[in-house]
């Protein structure tokens, strides 16, 4: 899987794809200036892929989907920022992904990357479930898995729980010093470290590590809840997007999902459209 980042697509007026581009992460939690710089970088890469000059960006009508648009004041700040496009509208990344998955049809999408969210359009009404930001929300996400892995590692270090390959590996990342973990908590890059911890959990689960299996199973149940709630809201077709589509993680979630929703009528696997700010 590619590293998390934003992707851009350039289409003509008839909807024909002309080019694509990719840049670094563009979620608003990293800062508006940095996020918009990555969006512009992805768009310029798409121009280059389409064989267009860089100044063609001033002729582009842009729709930009960004994680974090729902935060208080975020949209108001965005619309005041200068941009290189002919026109621009900003939307939540889940809105863009849902349009990419279902077009004009009703349907839902569950994004599971560093964060998580359920989103659907039903009868012209938008439904959003979760996705209020880590650590208070985003259950079942990469960040959530990573946090649980570190908690279990600290418990094992204190001998409050049985140590496993996963917990030992996590502690080694902190030089087997719990106060290194405390220092990281105070000053570290939470999302980046949590993504690494998510990879540890998925890899160790595949190897049969019992703590990793428990962590991934609990995450699967959280994602099940998003799917079930979207179904209750009337969305019968769903798509899974984000880095949960990683082969190891998504396979593990489908196997350990208590309700089996990932194998049932609730999930219709489709490849979502990825736009700036939507995790690949």
What is the three-class DSSP state of 245? Answer: helix
> For the domain that residue 12 is a member of, what is the CATH number?
3.30.420.40
User: 132-141: b or e for each residue (b if 16 or more CB lie within 10 Å)?
Assistant: ebbeeebbbb
- pLDDT at position 82: 92
Residue 269 domain-assigned? no
Neighbour tally for 105: CB within 10 Å: 9
Q: Is residue 24 part of a domain?
A: yes
Q: What is the pLDDT of residues 199-237, one digit of tens each?
A: 555 555 555 788 888 888 888 889 889 988 998 998 877
| Domain limits for position 62 | 6-102
Cα dihedral angle (223, 228, 234, 238), rounded to 10 degrees?
40
Residue from 36, 16, 12 nearest 26 by CA = 36
Q: Considering the domain boundaries, does residue 234 fall inside one?
A: no
Sequence-separated (6 or more) residues with CB below 8 Å from residue 191: 29, 114, 134, 143
Please state, in angstroms and as integers, the Cα–Cα distance from residue 274 to each residue in 84, 139, 195, following that order. Answer: 21, 22, 20
Give kind and range of the element (H or E) at residue 125.
strand 125-129
Q: Chain-wide mean pLDDT for the chain? A: 79
Say what the pLDDT of residue 90 is: 94
- Does any domain span residue 206? no
Residue 15 lies in a domain: yes
Domain count, the chain: 1
165 token code pair: 């390959």
129 occurs within a structural domain: no
Instruction: Report yes or no on 279 lying in a domain.
Output: no
Q: Which tokens is 256 given?
A: 């350990």
Smallest CA-to-CA distance from 60 within 79, 47, 45 is with: 47
- Can you state the angle between helices 165-173 and 210-232, rounded to 10 degrees? 90
Low-confidence ranges of the chain (pLDDT < 70): 1-4, 188-207, 243-280
d(CA 107, CA 65): 18
Residue 91 domain flag = yes
Q: What pLDDT, in 10s, does the model give residues 240-259?
A: 877 654 444 444 444 434 33
């Amino acid at each position: 899987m590619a590293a998390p980042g934003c992707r851009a697509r350039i289409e003509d007026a008839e909807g024909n794809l002309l080019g694509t581009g990719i840049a670094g992460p563009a979620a608003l939690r990293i800062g508006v200036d940095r996020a918009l710089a990555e969006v512009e970088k992805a768009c310029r890469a798409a121009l280059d892929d389409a064989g267009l000059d860089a100044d063609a960006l001033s002729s582009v009508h842009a729709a930009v989907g960004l994680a974090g648009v729902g935060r208080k004041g975020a949209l108001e700040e965005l619309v005041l920022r200068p941009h290189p496009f002919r026109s621009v509208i900003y939307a939540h990344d889940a809105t863009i992904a849902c349009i990419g998955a279902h077009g004009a049809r009703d349907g839902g999408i569950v994004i599971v990357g560093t964060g998580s969210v359920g989103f659907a359009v039903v009868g012209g009404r938008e439904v959003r479930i979760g996705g209020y930001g880590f650590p208070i929300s985003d259950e079942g996400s990469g960040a959530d898995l990573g946090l649980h892995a570190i908690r279990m590692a600290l418990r094992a270090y204190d001998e409050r729980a049985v140590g496993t390959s996963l917990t030992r590996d996590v502690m080694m990342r902190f030089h087997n010093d719990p106060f290194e973990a405390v220092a990281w908590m105070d000053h570290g890059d939470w999302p980046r470290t949590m993504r690494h911890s998510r990879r540890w959990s998925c890899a160790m689960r595949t190897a049969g590590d019992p703590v990793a299996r428990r962590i991934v199973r609990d995450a699967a149940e959280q994602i099940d809840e998003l799917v079930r709630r979207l179904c209750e809201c009337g969305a019968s077709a769903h798509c899974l997007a984000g880095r949960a589509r990683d082969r190891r993680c998504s396979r593990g979630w489908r196997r350990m999902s208590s309700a089996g929703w990932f194998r049932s009528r609730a999930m219709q696997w489709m490849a979502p459209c990825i736009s700036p700010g939507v995790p690949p």
